[in-house]
Structure 1
Amino acid sequence: MSRRAVLALGGTAATSTLAGCNVMNNDSNTKPFHDGDWRSYGNGPSNANRVASGMPEPAAHTVLASGDWPYTPPVVHEDVVYFAAGREVVAVMPDGNEQWSQRLDTEVCGSPALDPSRDRLYVPTRVVQTSNGPDPAPAFVTVLSLSEGEIKHTFRVGDRRTYGLSLAEGDIYARSATACVKLAPDGTEQWRQPLDPLIYDEYNLGDSTVTQVAPAVTEDGVYVPDRNAVVKLDPGTGDERWRVTVDTAYAASVIDDAGVIQTGHQETVAVNHAGEVRWRRDLHSRGAAAVAANGDIYVIAGDLHELDAATGETNWQAHLPSEGTAAPVVTDDSVLAVSGDVRAFRRDTGGILAPDRKRWEFTAVHAAAYSSPVIAAGQVFVVGPMGLIALAPEKSE
């Protein structure tokens, strides 16, 4: 039996002890946990941050890899977890068995993405600015072998730092501090569109938390935040198609059925694919949104808010102990948020401040509020000062 099958069975067994925790609207077909892959930030180039699954309560945790105060979530493929922090990238199994590790000459500065068809892992990296270093300091995408960890290429995509990257049809879309760049699978630059650095240090966030700003990519457009706007670029040429003002936009753009959602420190804005504003909310969020399959939008703005896709109005909200730059993750029946601890909330409970909204709370670990959780391989993965942490639905024997 494969490891994936074992994890799926283990999750099912654990969930049977948690009455009501894996069913939404009496749908008994809801999976207890997503047992598949998570190949990039947002779980795909739309940055939707969702999986088709339920959400049983974790019963145990394991530190899989240490890190130099990590800022980026992992990616997962075929039950192998790839984790980048500081100057090191590690491939590790959910049971803690390390597959390989690789030291880098540059520093990790964004969420990785992987392409199993080409056996490639792409990691945003940068050269740390020093008094005798290059000025401006270059920003890269470092390419490693997925199976062995060997460094294959280093592609420069701008200056200062690489905020994030997305893969679509094998092509690489990277947002650095100075540009959005499209690279072919072999690294050939297809186009480069200059952009302004995002505003982080001016708001006392710390530039080191700018690790989850992957371009949102569709066949029709590439969506990225500029300093005070969300911008749509032509995927073939990189030409700007439209620009909509969003006050202090510094999180990833997120695609929904009607267009794109852009959060910002001063407001959250929904725009259709033609560049027309659907709605604006005076809702201040430092992290990107998550979008459910039915269109519900989830934003952390002090509290966790569920927004109506058509109007942007808050349907319900739930308290969080702190706010950061991490987007939530939405499943079939729950929303998962990290804010010091890890909390799951029911999506289908009525009332804007329903007392039974919270499904569970896991306080045994400190989960960084600037790195989104990942649901894959039958477990939840979070990062914090200890490094990469796996939350399992049952304790091992």
Structure 2
Amino acid sequence: MPSRRRFLSGLAAGTAVGLSGCLGGGTTFSPGRTSNTDWPLPGHGPRASNYTRNAVAPRTPPSERWRAETGRSVGRPVVADETVFVPAEDGLYALRLRDGEQRWRASIAPYGVAVADGVVYATARDEAAVFAYEADSGEGRWRRETAADFATAPLPLSSGDAVVVGDTDGHVRSLAPRTGETRWRFRAFTGVYSLAARDDRVYVGTTGGEAYELHVVDGDDGPSGVPLWRRKLPGTVRALSATRQSVYAATFGGGFLKLATGASAGRTEWHATGAPTVTDALVHAGRLVVGVGSEGVSAYDAATGDPRWRATVDRTAPASPPAAAGDTLYVGVGGALHAYALGGGVGVGPYRVDVQRWRLPIRTRGVAIADGAVVVTSDDLDGSPGVAVLE
């Protein structure tokens, strides 16, 4: 049973240190207005922006709605159909969003999970398979064997007619949501590490540092994923985020890049060479692209790649993938969950205050935002791995 203990200690508001840059460009953010929101994919939507502009989320130190024990999480939590789904070492958990009661659990070894149209899709680690379950009951819909296991979550397309998966051997497949049958396939040169999509385009990032744009077209023999371009980037493509005219890529040790799409064939629009090595996610919010590494948060102008603001932490440690809502960014780094002002606080140039809204000493592995709250997975909730909902 989950507890209802409150986080009445260890919360602190304050400012971040090591700030530089200025916003400019008229970038402003407002608090969210809608509390009835979901976070159905690890990156929130197919474009993997990791941002929901209108969602309400805690801007002041939160209290705890509930916490529940799970196995150690291996992927990001997602929230849909009034349920929190946690991919953990010992299974896929489905917990009721209202109070944390377990609705069901699937005995698989998942890597990532995504939800679309009442169906939960899961890729597996250490097993070459993709699974689909009914979100409300956990009843298995189908299981599809693949060539290799996975290092990225499934990607349901916004059209609703396909789920894209990419395995560690470089096979990209589009699966039919109802049956799991392969609709089209593509082979990258190395293993797939990141995916994003918009409209009829799918973007693929690999462990070997390649980025691809695939055009999904309907032909006489059915749909296919036609490669439009391939770019070699300076490191494993750890995260992608797609917009209508560009795709942002975060690499291992090689910074961030903005790549043109379509007819421009992957041309580099800017390259922030000093950007941090991120953990599986970029935040794209308005005129900002934000990444989090082991030393803190770095924000860049989405149009130019110029640095906008930076917040360091006092202890170098692995960072969780970030998530943002309204005017606030949430991330686990330096052994704590932090909430930062997405716009960089108040000030000009290096003189900034009120960047950090609050800090909670909890070792965070994953973050999602839904129902006016922050959903957090951790290896250590009073000594046990689990999930907590903060509001």
TM-score by length of 1: 0.78
Deviations 1:313-342 (A, max 9, x none): 211101134453633222221211111211
Deviations 1:213-246 (A, max 9, x none): 5521112411011221211112232232111221
**8 Å Cα contact 1:216-1:254 kept in structure 2:** yes
Give, in whole Å, the separation in 2 of the partners of 1:295 and 1:98. 39
Give, in whole Å, the separation in 2 of the partners of 1:98 and 1:358. 32
Counterpart of 1:216 in structure 2 is 196
Residue segments in structure 1 that go unaligned for 5+ positions in a row = 1-17, 19-23, 129-137, 200-212
Give, in whole Å, the separation in 2 of the partners of 1:331 and 1:62. 19
322, 335, 343: which one pairs with 2:338? 343
Query: Is 1:150 equivalent to 2:151 in the alignment?
Result: no
Letter in 1 for 2:82: D
Letter in 2 for 1:366: R
Give, in whole Å, the separation in 1 of the partners of 2:375 and 2:387. 6
Letter in 1 for 2:211: V
Counterpart of 1:334 in structure 2 is 328
251-260 vs 163-172, greater mean Cα deviation = 251-260
**8 Å Cα contact 2:238-2:252 kept in structure 1:** no
Counterpart of 1:324 in structure 2 is 318
346-355 vs 283-292, greater mean Cα deviation = 346-355
Q: 1:189 to 1:31 in 2, by over 3 A?
A: same
Residue segments in structure 2 that go unaligned for 5+ positions in a row = 1-12, 14-26, 218-223
Query: Is 1:289 equivalent to 2:290 in the alignment?
Result: no
Counterpart of 1:235 in structure 2 is 216
Q: 1:68 to 1:377 in 2, by over 3 A?
A: same
For these two proteins, the number of residue pairs brought into alignment is 337
Match of 1:43, SS state, is coil
Counterpart of 1:269 in structure 2 is 257
**8 Å Cα contact 2:167-2:191 kept in structure 1:** no
Match of 2:133, SS state, is strand
**8 Å Cα contact 1:172-1:184 kept in structure 2:** yes
What is the CA distance between 1:377 and its match in structure 2? 1.4
What is the CA distance between 1:271 and its match in structure 2? 0.3
Query: Is 1:392 equivalent to 2:390 in the alignment?
Result: yes
What is the CA distance between 1:198 and its match in structure 2? 4.8
What is the CA distance between 1:281 and its match in structure 2? 1.6
Give, in whole Å, the separation in 1 of the partners of 2:370 and 2:91. 22
- Could you tell me the percent identity over the aligned residues? 20
TM-score by length of 2: 0.79
**8 Å Cα contact 2:92-2:109 kept in structure 1:** no
154-163 vs 34-43, greater mean Cα deviation = 154-163
**8 Å Cα contact 1:299-1:305 kept in structure 2:** yes
Give, in whole Å, the separation in 1 of the partners of 2:317 and 2:195. 23
Match of 2:43, SS state, is helix
Counterpart of 1:383 in structure 2 is 377
Greater strand fraction, Structure 1 or Structure 2:
2
